[in-house]
Structure 1
Amino acid sequence: MSADGQGGAAGVRVVIVDDHRMVRSGVRAELAVDAGIEVVGEAADVSGAVAVVHRERPDVVLLDVHLPDTEGAVPTATAGSGGAEVLHRCADLLTGERPVRFLALSVSDAADDVIAVIRRGARGYVTKSIDGAELADAVHRVAGGDAVFSPRLAGFVLDAFGAAAGEVAAVDDELDRLSAREREVMRLIARGYAYKEVARELFISVKTVETHVSSVLRKLQLSSRHELTRWAAARRLL
């Protein structure tokens, strides 16, 4: 967990925002298995989400991308609609000593949806194909300040971070500090892979992955996965 105290011994406080009651119930049940996570509220629409997030000030909000403005209405198909509006209306909570961190949880893996909520301040984006243990891990990581993306979605943040069109990765003094293996680990971590996924991909142990990540962050003078993703995106390395 992060040094700022979020996600500590008291547990990570979570609000679930989704317009389907069965989805909210299922996510709540999956997270209940993790004693370090406490669901403190739910919402089914934009207005309800803004109200509960301001009232509870949770550590993490699990946010559906497409939400109706009011309960019972039909969500529009506009990219990031609903979810992006919640982020816009909760912008005052995204910074400060104890920021509220948003993790998008959606069936959509469309680039436009990913970019829309990341631009508004979401710390990550995972699809609903994720299993319960992976979702709990993502919640803890976001609470600790990391950026978390389902594999294959992280490349969409290139646009969100404003990488110049056509920019290519050239010889980079910082990149040259990394070994070949560290570069492989760096790219996968920046794309949102969990440590165990990196370990499977590269046929190394999770402990070795942790060692490489620590070395990469130290050499690049970065403090979190979120910063690493931005660093890699700026160089079009994802």
Structure 2
Amino acid sequence: MITRSSSAYIESTSDLVEDAIRVLVVDSSEAMREGIRHMLAGDEGIKVVAEARNGKEALELVAKITPDIIILDGSLRGTDTTKIISHIKECSPLVGIIVLNDQQSFLVPAIENGASGFLSGDVGRSDLIGAIRIVHLWRMVLFQQGSNFTLVKL
């Protein structure tokens, strides 16, 4: 069951796989949110439990659903994404935040403010699923430069 409030939604937890990684997707583009949800839908160990279109909705949802991982658009319209990352980590220090952004200059500020991963906006399904699992299980910082991935132990 899906509960909608403006463009944000929370999915019922009754149909979750018991140990599924709970994901919140935050992107101003509905098409991107749907695309990410579709990419993750085939993996039984990962469940998109909510979506938000901006930082305000994301902060509200983090307080309500305590996701394990947040997939965050690094270029949310009208928002300082680094501040959103920082606020999310204040509310939920254990959540892993994976930022999707093509600007390498954003990598250091994102990591300094608490991001756990930094991937290209055109990341493929298997790489996104792998990143979610790595960040969730090992609490490592993962970042992508071109086709290369680097892990840094926290």
TM-score (norm 2): 0.80
Task: Find the counterpart in structure 1 of residue 3 from structure 2.
Answer: none
* Distance in 1 (alpha carbons) for counterparts of 2:70 and 2:132: 9
CA RMSD of aligned residues (A): 2.2
Q: Which has the higher strand share?
A: 2
Partner of 1:38, secondary structure, is strand
Once the two structures are superposed, the pairs formed by residues 126-165 of structure 1 within 5 Å of their partners are: 126-144=119-137, 145-151=139-145
Partner of 2:130, secondary structure, is helix
**Counterpart check, 1:86 vs 2:12:** no
Q: Over residues 201-226 of structure 1, what are the superposed CA-to-partner deviations in whole Å (9 max), with x where a residue is unaligned? A: xxxxxxxxxxxxxxxxxxxxxxxx43
Check whether the contact 1:65–1:82 (CA below 8 A) recurs between aligned residues.
Answer: no
Task: Find the counterpart in structure 1 of residue 10 from structure 2.
Answer: none
| Structure 1: 4+ residue segments shifted above 4 A | none
Q: Gaps (5+ residues) in structure 1?
A: 1-7, 69-74, 76-80, 154-187, 193-224, 231-238
* Distance in 1 (alpha carbons) for counterparts of 2:114 and 2:42: 28
**28, 51, 57: which is aligned to 1:19?**
28
Partner of 1:90, secondary structure, is helix
* Distance in 2 (alpha carbons) for counterparts of 1:82 and 1:35: 33
* Distance in 1 (alpha carbons) for counterparts of 2:32 and 2:80: 17
Task: Find the counterpart in structure 1 of residue 39 from structure 2.
Answer: 30
**Paired positions, count:** 137
Task: Find the counterpart in structure 1 of residue 103 from structure 2.
Answer: 109
Following TM superposition, by how much is the alpha carbon of 1:82 offset from its aligned partner in structure 2, in angstroms? 3.0
Q: Give the letter for the 1:131 counterpart.
A: G
Partner of 2:98, secondary structure, is strand
Following TM superposition, by how much is the alpha carbon of 1:101 offset from its aligned partner in structure 2, in angstroms? 0.9
- Structure-2 change in CA distance of 1:33 and 1:151 (3 Å): same
**124, 143, 163: which is aligned to 2:117?**
124
Larger radius of gyration: 1
Check whether the contact 1:63–1:104 (CA below 8 A) recurs between aligned residues.
Answer: yes
Partner of 2:60, secondary structure, is helix
Partner of 1:51, secondary structure, is helix
Q: Over residues 140-194 of structure 1, what are the superposed CA-to-partner deviations in whole Å (9 max), with x where a residue is unaligned? A: 11111122111359xxxxxxxxxxxxxxxxxxxxxxxxxxxxxxxxxx7xx52xx
Identity across aligned pairs (percent)? 24
**Counterpart check, 1:67 vs 2:76:** yes
Q: Which has the higher helix share?
A: 1
TM-score (norm 1): 0.53
* Distance in 1 (alpha carbons) for counterparts of 2:95 and 2:28: 20
* Distance in 1 (alpha carbons) for counterparts of 2:84 and 2:60: 10
Q: Gaps (5+ residues) in structure 2?
A: 1-16
